[in-house]
Structure 1
């Protein structure tokens, strides 16, 4: 059993010695598609520029080029980006160099954290102004409906630039009725009043709740987004009242990382204003005003349409989406949650044979900064689809009118991962290169080896042959830790994790010290050799178990309440405790039985 366990641990620890290859990953943008011809073109570029490469693989609509060194990687990235143009995303990455026969049995290297593998770190700030604007829009519509249901008549209900709602009334009685109604609603407060006008604000408690929800929901959505895109072991966590930390190990290209986490695309479903009482051309030329409650939006080919401002449904209610080709055209299938399904059903039942537009909304960096040096985000909207509602539908439908397959794929991915509740701004970014990560790995390995060497020397000098047993158990313990860490799907090794391994190496000999001292005590008391060995292991077991179980409980608590690097330390410490108990007790006992078992011995080398 002992040999089998160690061999399995060694097999799954092996991928870690092969390391990772510097790689260049090429993917298409909205206007370009990666094909086999693209892969052949890239290979031709490498050959013409005489850039050495290990392999060029076309898979999952991307091309992955492995090279030997970081210098070649950087040089090749610039050349490929210039040759292919702006329609392709050329990113730096790291690809595991695990042999195929190990990959076939599911053996993969340990997932390394940002400090060991390199990658990108972002500190992001949620745009609270936009989040509160959305809240005010919802509050305005809600208050309008509430007054209508309460039979309170008003002449106008609008919002101003101070996050306030201005309501004008035809009579003092209606104003008084509105005041009584507002006082009964916890989300609103009256700022000021006159004979026929009220200035209403959102209550402080509701504003704080909205801010907290905006950060919490954005954190969840960002985590879903990077998980959807296959980034290995990302860290996405809240920091402070309005900031989020995002760490993406393995990604070296900040432009690609920004594209992944900063995309704010979502959909809005709006009813088209088909009234004959306006002339759209007059509105565009300024000869006529835009009808109240409507606004002009444009399709991809520049065609204007008049849409009602009231949003039927937003992307917040989308729980799943997929993309496919139907009758030669790309389309995105959308599934809504129960609340979204009810809203869509109620709307479509009342508007059969009327057009509904799908508005694609995205926030992009305008290239300008505000007075505090933060980038100003620009809202870009485009109608991607206008369809006539032929019959009522609820939580399942399709969106068509998308330009190409890749755009449908990208839209589906963003919708499935979730649309950000409010735009985010990157206030700090840091790129950790793979060379710095390699230096951390080297220093961590050196600390492990020095700890192991000192422990081995001590055990050999003090306990002789039983010290050899303990030393072999230490080596087996390290192999098992690495093997188990490679197998655990959620485990990531970072510098604190290496610290946990070093600590485990020092603690692992404790059990053997207790066992050996107990054996020596039994021998001094005149026990026979075999009896002393048996009593040494049996007598020390309770102390070893109590000491390790208390440390294991501490590791479990650290994992439960800790975040990020603290969890990494807790995982390696917990795994190390379990493997050290196995090797120190079962392993050394097996070696003692192998050498001294089944024969008469007069003296022990201890």
Structure 2
């Protein structure tokens, strides 16, 4: 046996050892436990929860223009003009009224700066209308979806869910797919995900005992820069209706940290820290109302507490509201991970029981083993001695595929098992192409060595071509597919790459080794 052949055999053995380690790692707790530690099971095999969420991106547009109105009014204070949103059905439109002829130039300079580049400006009878452009709306919706995905993913990660799957769902539908393998407490997860944790602090204008009383006092018209919110003033207080300034002084994204704690009476509450910019803004607000005004703490569109301000508050505070310990922990988690930029709703909620997952694993494994055994027996009967070569390559192909998944930490799904089975079929197809070509060369009267040389040489191009086109198709499935479909694409791609190696390199090496042990001119069992 030449040095070149010995080197090839040594390389194959090294590859086998490496990928066996990829499957099992350092065995502990039995081989089954070692495999499941390296190759994770997807939702359909392990059981768990699948959610499809709708992000209401229009709310982000409303919040963005609300902040711009607040900024505009600060900048326009010296001109006497005011900015407002007159039509709540079109939150992307801001109207500027009260522009005197002498202030036209000053107002125009303010609203045409880079700060408001997202708006198109129109001048009607001396007043201005600012409308957010379609491209700016599209970008804001895209950012809102991306931020929602990151926030949800971070919240789930902090809950300790193993191998969660959070990604966009559908094209242009502003939907999110969430898959949580092994999750049992579905209600709590839904609560954590769905709550916007939209904690805001607003200035209080007035309070009313009922909604009817409030609407009577307001002549059935709520001013555009105000809102009516239901809630209570402290723990155990009766429900009231509070007329608040529409634009929040502080909101969820302004929180730098939040932790569950207890007050002086041992009741759960939350302490928080604001960012530097929000702290400065909060200080100016509390300094302006100290001793005279009130502020409302609003959580998920409900007033939790109303407080007076005796001294200006900077960047630290405390939230109370009759929380349980778990509620306080969940709320602090949501504030730490950031407020969702818009509310969400559930389009689909589906649970997969672990027993169904176990049955899927059993049936999938049985199908894979049965298919592989049938193929191996066929190869032995049809190709005789060369069938052993094909079977060895097939087993090594499966070892490399599973080793790839172990090293990559890939998630195995039921379609992924289908990908494994398809890989077995592709492996057999490659061997059939090679062996049939070798048979043709033998019929032409060539020696065994020459037939193998020419057979592998001619079949190589066809094998690479078929595998590359299939890998491209798998790549498209991975890019545009969701969880289970991606699992199929991953296992198929890994399997095809392994198959190119085993069908061409490994199978050829085995043939060369067998020929090196036979005499010159010996027949080939194929």
Q: Same fold (TM over 0.5)?
A: yes
2:49 equivalent in structure 1: 120
Distance 2:100 2:142 in 1: 38
Alignment-derived partner of residue 164 in structure 2: 233
CA contact (8 A) 1:114 1:494 kept: yes
Task: Give the alignment partner of residue 500 of structure 1, picking from 415, 419, 427.
Answer: 419
Q: Against the structure 1 CA distance between its residues 348 and 467, is the aligned structure 2 distance closer, same or farther, given a 3 Å change threshold?
A: same
Aligned equivalent of 1:314, options 229, 251, 266: 251
Aligned to 1:473: 393
Cα distance, 1:537 vs structure 2: 4.4
1:379 maps to 302
> Could you say which structure has the greater relative contact order, defined with CA pairs below 8 angstroms and 6 or more residues apart?
2
Q: Report what 2:67 is aligned to.
A: 138
Describe the shift of the 1:562–1:527 C-alpha distance in structure 2 as closer, same or farther (beyond 3 A).
Answer: same
Q: For the structure 1 residues 204 and 324, does the alpha-carbon distance in structure 2 shift closer, same or farther, using more than 3 Å as the test?
A: closer
TM-superposed CA distance for 1:237, in Å, is: 1.7
**Equivalent of residue 251 in structure 1, options 167, 172, 183:** 183
| Residue 508 of structure 1: how far off its partner (Å) | 0.9
Distance 1:385 1:121, change over 3 A: farther
The answer on whether the counterparts of 1:190 and 1:200 sit within 8 Å (CA) in structure 2 is yes
Instruction: For 1:418 and 1:380, locate their aligned partners in 2 and report how far apart those are by CA, in whole Å.
Output: 20
Within-5 A mapping of 1:430-509: 430-489=350-409, 491-509=410-428
RMSD over aligned Cα, in angstroms? 5.1
8 Å Cα contact 2:376-2:391 kept in structure 1:
yes
Alpha-carbon displacement from aligned partner over 1:100-143 (angstroms, at most 9, x marks no partner)? 36699796153333333332232333345644542452243133
Q: Does 1:108 align with 2:37?
A: yes
Q: Is the 8 A contact 2:50 2:178 kept in 1?
A: yes
C-alpha contact 1:120 1:429 (8 A) present in aligned 2: yes
The 1:162–1:178 alpha-carbon spacing in structure 2 relative to 1, beyond 3 Å, is: farther
Partner of 1:71: none
Measured after TM superposition, the shift of residue 359 of structure 1 is 7.3
2:432 paired with 1:517:
no
3-state SS of paired residue (2:519): coil
Preserved CA contact (<8 Å) 1:312 1:344: no
**Aligned partners of 1:359 and 1:385 also within 8 Å:** no
Helix, strand or coil for the counterpart of 2:248? Answer: strand
Deviations along 1:389-420, one digit per CA (max 9) or x if unpaired, are 68x8xxxx655567898666534432343311
Shift of 1:464: 0.8
Q: Provide the rounded CA distance (Å) in 2 between the counterparts of 1:409 and 1:332.
A: 11
1:152 aligns with 2:80: yes
TM-score (normalised: structure 2)? 0.71
Structure 1 distance, partners of 2:308, 2:17, is 59
Question: Is residue 585 from structure 1 mapped to residue 504 from structure 2 by the alignment?
Answer: yes
Measure the CA separation in 1 of the matches of 2:258 and 2:34.
Answer: 31
Worse overlay, 593-602 or 296-305:
296-305
SS of the residue corresponding to residue 597 of structure 1 reads: helix
How far apart are the structure 2 equivalents of 1:484 and 1:385? 62
**Offset of 1:315 from its aligned partner?**
2.6
Q: Is the Cα–Cα contact under 8 Å of residues 477 and 486 in structure 2 kept in the other structure?
A: yes
In the TM superposition, what is the alpha-carbon distance from 1:258 to its structure 2 partner?
A: 0.9
Query: CA separation of 1:244/1:293 partners in 2, compared to 1, >3 Å: closer, same or farther?
Result: closer
Structure 1: runs of 5+ lacking an equivalent: 16-97, 364-377
Task: Find the residue that maps to 2:74 and give its secondary structure.
Answer: helix
Of residues 556, 574, 577, the one that matches 2:493 is 574
More deviation, 207-216/172-181? 172-181
Following superposition of structure 1 onto structure 2, how do residues 198-209 of structure 1 map, counting pairs within 5 Å?
A: 202-203=131-132, 205=134
Shift of 1:526: 4.5
CA deviation profile, 1:450-509 (whole Å, cap 9, x unmatched)? 4324432332232111112212221232233223223323x3223332332222111112
Q: 1:261 aligns with which of 178, 182, 193?
A: 193
1:225-374 aligned at under 5 Å gives the runs 225-231=155-161, 232-239=163-170, 240-268=172-200, 298-299=233-234, 310-317=247-254, 321=257, 323=259, 336=275, 341-342=276-277, 344-345=279-280, 348=283, 361-363=298-300
Which among 199, 202, 221 is matched to residue 151 of structure 2?
Answer: 221
Deviations 1:47-103 (A, max 9, x none): xxxxxxxxxxxxxxxxxxxxxxxxxxxxxxxxxxxxxxxxxxxxxxxxxxx953669
Aligned mates of 1:191, 1:462 — CA distance in 2: 85
Instruction: Measure the CA separation in 2 of the matches of 1:572 and 1:256.
Output: 33
| Partner Cα separation in structure 2 for residue 438 and residue 120 of structure 1 | 15
Deviations, residues 397-448 of structure 1 (Å, cap 9, x unaligned): 6555678986665344323433111221223322233333344434433443
Shift of 1:300: 5.1
Query: Do the aligned partners of residues 534 and 448 (structure 1) sit closer, same or farther apart at CA in structure 2, a change above 3 Å counting?
Result: same
Counterpart residue number, 2:221:
none
The structure carrying a bigger helix percent of its residues is: 2
When residues 540 and 128 of structure 1 are mapped into structure 2, their CA distance, relative to the original with a 3 A threshold, is closer
Are 1:187 and 2:110 matched, yes or no?
Answer: no
Tell me if 1:604 matches 2:524. yes
Pick one of 449, 470, 474 that aligns with 1:555.
474
8 Å CA contact 2:286, 2:309 repeated in 1: no
Structure 2 residues without counterparts, runs of 5 or longer: 1-9, 219-224
* Richer in strand (by share): 1
Distance 1:317 1:279 in 2: 25
